[in-house]
Structure formats: structure tokens, C-alpha cells
Amino acid sequence: MTADAGQGSGRGEPDPQEHADEPVGHLQRGQFVAETSRPVPRAALSTRAIAGLWALRVFVVLVSLMVIYTFIDQLR
């Protein structure tokens, strides 16, 4: 999926004209639709990170509601 960094590009590879008639000769494996459709593993977040993310989410929702309330009030 990743870290195929730099592979298939630059002067270290064969002349691209060699494969001009091959439809997928210039893609890295991670670029194929079949590969990008494969889900990446879930990251393990610490409890503190999850709590921080939820706190930020709740805060953002509250402030958004305030902005929307103010917006509606301005319409009156």
C-alpha cells in the first residue's frame, strides 16, 4: 500500500518507452484499484488520544451550534 516510495520512477528504471503499449506498466502496485480498495488496518489509539479527539469533537459541535444560532438570529 505504501512505502513503495520512489519505486518505478527516475533513472533507475528501464526506459519508459519500452512499456508504452502496456496499459499498467507504469503504476506502482499500491496504485492499482485492487490495492487501494483493500482497507488499511485500524490504528491503535491510546485512551488519552481518543478522549482528546472526543473533547475536540464536542467542542467543535458546540461552537458550530453557536455560529448557526447567531446566523439564524441575524436573519430576524
Partner 1 sequence: MTRIPPSPPARGPAPDPPLTGEDAARSRDRARVHHARWHGRRWQLLWLLAGPGILVMMGENDGPSMIAYASDGAQYGLGFFVPLIPVLFALAYVCQEMCMRVGAVTHRGYGGLVLQRYGRAWGWFGAGDLILTNLVTLVAEFVSIRVGLAYFHLGAGVAVALGLALVVFTLSGGRYWRWERIVLGLALFNGLFLLAAILVRPHPGAVVSSLDFLPFPGGSVDTLLLLLASTVGATVTPWMIFFQQSASADKGMTAGDVRHGRYDTAAGAVLAAVFGIGALIAGAALLTHGGSGIEGFAGAGFPEALKHVAGSAAGAVFALGLIEAGAVAILTICASTAYAAGECAGVSRSFNSSPRNAAVFYAANLGVALLAAVVILIPGAPLLSIALNANVLATVLLPVSLVFMVMLANDTALMGQWVNKRSTNVIGITVIVFVGVSGAAYGIVSFLQVVHLINS
**Tally of CB atoms within 10 A around 26:** 13
The x, y and z cell numbers of residue 65, run together, are 451550534
Cβ nearer to partner 1, comparing 51 with 67? 67
Smallest gap from Cβ 14 to partner 1, in A, equals 9
Q: Using the rule CB under 8 A, is 34 a contact of partner 1?
A: yes
How far apart, in Å, do the first and last CA atoms of the chain sit? Answer: 53
- Residue 5 CA to residue 23 CA, distance in Å, equals 21
Give the interface size with partner 1 as a residue count (CB under 8 A).
56
Which residues of this protein are in contact with partner 1, per CB under 8 A? 1-11, 13, 15-17, 19-20, 22-37, 39-45, 53, 56-57, 59-60, 63-64, 66-71, 73-75
